Amino acid sequence: MKVNAYGAYSGDRFLEPLQITRRDTGPDDVQISIDYCGVCHSDIHQVRAEWEGTQFPCVPGHEIVGRVSGVGTNVTKYQVGDLVGVGCIVDSCQHCDECDSDLENYCDNMVGTYNFPTQDEPGWTQGGYSQKIVVHERYVLRISHPEAQLPAVAPLLCAGITTYSPLRHWNVGPGKKVGIVGIGGLGHMGVKLAHAMGAHVVAFSTSESKRNTAKVLGADEVVVSTNADQMAAHAKTFDLIINTVAAPHNLDAYLTLLKRDGTLTLVGAPATPHPSPEVFNLIFKRRSITGSMIGGIKETQEMLDFCAEHDIVSDIELIRADEINTAYERLLKSDVKYRFVIDNSTLSATSLIQGKYL
Ligand SMILES: [Zn+2]
Ligand SMILES: [Zn+2]
């Protein structure tokens, strides 16, 4: 099946309309008509070949929400018309330790939603900037938010689970003090989720201008990270700090804010390494620096259900598919509150020809 999509033919070209092929719906597959797809910073890295091994044409997008438009004969969990999502994972080996532990995100043979090898045409996966996708039932998530919230649910599939998973793994809840570094696409979700879990939440931003918005998101306190006095006032007090910043920076500034046995978790991936932390800052208080990558399918479903129950969605700006290149430029300048989401109905033939929002 041919479907309309938006993607790039090489790393130095703008994204443009193109057609891609989706496989026939196999016995275990769910075919999804995509309504909305979030725009993640990873999309830009991949499509611009800033990360190695980009296959072209590249169609990014791993924050996918839509409606089931077909199911295979073995599918029991979903029916045509159901509201569903697909995140960063569309396949894995299904028999290793990680897969058996519901941690497909750490499977050595995890297949990402775009730019991973697949038997499907053209030989690598292509993502959610497209009209339809066909995914094995195991990797499809159920959405129970009200339908009107669907566009703002999309970013939960990457930004949401990337922050939810470490918050859960390190047992965040009432009585815990949690820091979120960087109030962007990931960080704004981290603040909302940690707040809903009952923690005392401190947002770190380089910009004083984020103070009010971070409080609206659910931060109890806001610290301007370039202000030494404000930072020092929080020394040795945090149980967990989640760092979403993807640019290399001095981690000691945050390590020293952790109390004994506290943890600094990195979820942003810089293209070049952070400067090495001072080992004494780890030794003295038995502190840890860790990383965390998205979440498994079971936990992603748990996150979606938690968000539906607590009325949590992402703060978004809805765009047409043909606005994607402008959106990338704005995202690179952090000029978005806090996530762009594509309205995939603008990928219809009429919409693309007329170049306007229908
Ligand atoms: Zn992402
Ligand atoms: Zn596996």
pLDDT digits (tens, 9 = 90+) for 37-49: 999 999 999 999 9
| Identity at 171, one-letter amino acid code | N
Rounded to the nearest whole angstrom, what is the distance from the C-alpha of residue 165 to the centroid of ligand 1? Answer: 14
CATH number of the CATH domain containing 285: 3.40.50.720
Retrieve residue 336's tokens: 């978005």
> What is residue 51's predicted lDDT score, i.e. its pLDDT?
86
Average pLDDT over residues 25-33: 98
Retrieve residue 2's tokens: 């041919």
Same domain, 6 and 152: yes
Rounded to the nearest whole angstrom, what is the distance from the C-alpha of residue 154 to the centroid of ligand 1? Answer: 11
Place of tokens 């390590």: 255
Same domain, 174 and 272: yes
Place of tokens 């990383």: 291
Question: Which of 254, 271, 291 is the last residue in one of the domains?
Answer: 291
Give the C-alpha separation, 147 to 115, whole Å: 30
Same domain, 184 and 287: yes
Give the C-alpha separation, 144 to 85, whole Å: 10
From the CA of 110, the nearest ligand is 2
Which residue, 194, 139, 140, is CA-closest to 170? Answer: 194
Rounded to the nearest whole angstrom, what is the distance from the C-alpha of residue 241 to the centroid of ligand 2? Answer: 29
Average pLDDT over residues 193-204: 98
Could you read off the pLDDT of 145-186 as tens digits, one per residue? 999 999 999 999 999 999 999 999 999 999 999 999 999 999
> What is residue 271's predicted lDDT score, i.e. its pLDDT?
77
From the CA of 88, the nearest ligand is 1
> What is residue 207's predicted lDDT score, i.e. its pLDDT?
85
Number of domains in the chain: 2
**Domain residue limits at 24:** 2-158+295-354
Average pLDDT over residues 217-232: 96
Rounded to the nearest whole angstrom, what is the distance from the C-alpha of residue 103 to the centroid of ligand 2? Answer: 8
Triad 11, 12, 17: Cα angle to 5°: 75
Rounded to the nearest whole angstrom, what is the distance from the C-alpha of residue 40 to the centroid of ligand 1? Answer: 5
Which residue, 238, 199, 243, is CA-closest to 218? Answer: 199
From the CA of 269, the nearest ligand is 1
The pTM for the full model equals 0.96
Rounded to the nearest whole angstrom, what is the distance from the C-alpha of residue 168 to the centroid of ligand 1? Answer: 19
Give the C-alpha separation, 257 to 351, whole Å: 51
Least confident of 12-21, 170-179, 189-198, 203-212: 203-212
Rounded to the nearest whole angstrom, what is the distance from the C-alpha of residue 158 to the centroid of ligand 1? Answer: 5
Rounded to the nearest whole angstrom, what is the distance from the C-alpha of residue 239 to the centroid of ligand 2? Answer: 31
From the CA of 156, the nearest ligand is 1
Pair 74, 35: CB distance under 8 Å = no
Q: Residue 237's CB: how many other CB atoms inside 10 A? A: 14
> What is residue 229's predicted lDDT score, i.e. its pLDDT?
97
Same domain, 47 and 105: yes
Beta bridge partners of 238: 258
Same domain, 153 and 190: no
Pair 240, 266: CB distance under 8 Å = no
> What is residue 269's predicted lDDT score, i.e. its pLDDT?
82
Same domain, 284 and 179: yes
Same domain, 285 and 299: no
Average pLDDT over residues 112-137: 97
Same domain, 120 and 164: no
Could you read off the pLDDT of 132-152 as tens digits, one per residue? 999 999 999 999 999 999 999
Rounded to the nearest whole angstrom, what is the distance from the C-alpha of residue 42 to the centroid of ligand 1? Answer: 5
Rounded to the nearest whole angstrom, what is the distance from the C-alpha of residue 279 to the centroid of ligand 1? Answer: 31
Average pLDDT over residues 274-293: 96
pLDDT exceeds cutoff 80 at 353: no
Rounded to the nearest whole angstrom, what is the distance from the C-alpha of residue 108 to the centroid of ligand 2? Answer: 6
Q: Locate all alpha helices (DSSP H) within 249-346, ordered by sequence.
A: 252-255, 279-283, 297-309, 324-332
Rounded to the nearest whole angstrom, what is the distance from the C-alpha of residue 43 to the centroid of ligand 1? Answer: 7
Position 214 confidence tier, pLDDT thresholds 50, 70, 90: very high
Rounded to the nearest whole angstrom, what is the distance from the C-alpha of residue 39 to the centroid of ligand 1? Answer: 8
Question: Which of 291, 309, 326 is the last residue in one of the domains?
Answer: 291
Q: In the predicted model, what is the mean pLDDT of the chain?
A: 95
Rounded to the nearest whole angstrom, what is the distance from the C-alpha of residue 131 to the centroid of ligand 2? Answer: 29
pLDDT exceeds cutoff 80 at 358: no
Position 328 confidence tier, pLDDT thresholds 50, 70, 90: very high
Same domain, 164 and 272: yes
Position 235 confidence tier, pLDDT thresholds 50, 70, 90: very high
Could you read off the pLDDT of 42-95 as tens digits, one per residue? 999 999 998 889 999 999 999 999 999 999 999 999 999 999 999 999 999 999
Retrieve residue 223's tokens: 């610290």
Same domain, 299 and 286: no
pLDDT exceeds cutoff 70 at 202: yes
Rounded to the nearest whole angstrom, what is the distance from the C-alpha of residue 155 to the centroid of ligand 1? Answer: 8
Least confident of 166-170, 228-232, 244-248: 244-248
Provide CB contacts within 8 A for 190, sequence distance 6+: 163, 167, 180, 242, 244
pLDDT exceeds cutoff 70 at 352: no
Same domain, 191 and 240: yes
CATH number of the CATH domain containing 126: 3.90.180.10
Rounded to the nearest whole angstrom, what is the distance from the C-alpha of residue 127 to the centroid of ligand 2? Answer: 21
> What is residue 131's predicted lDDT score, i.e. its pLDDT?
98
From the CA of 97, the nearest ligand is 2
> What is residue 209's predicted lDDT score, i.e. its pLDDT?
86
Which residue, 119, 115, 118, is CA-closest to 53? Answer: 115
Pair 118, 29: CB distance under 8 Å = no
Rounded to the nearest whole angstrom, what is the distance from the C-alpha of residue 34 to the centroid of ligand 2? Answer: 27
Same domain, 46 and 107: yes
Position 246 confidence tier, pLDDT thresholds 50, 70, 90: confident
From the CA of 161, the nearest ligand is 1
Give the C-alpha separation, 132 to 31, whole Å: 7
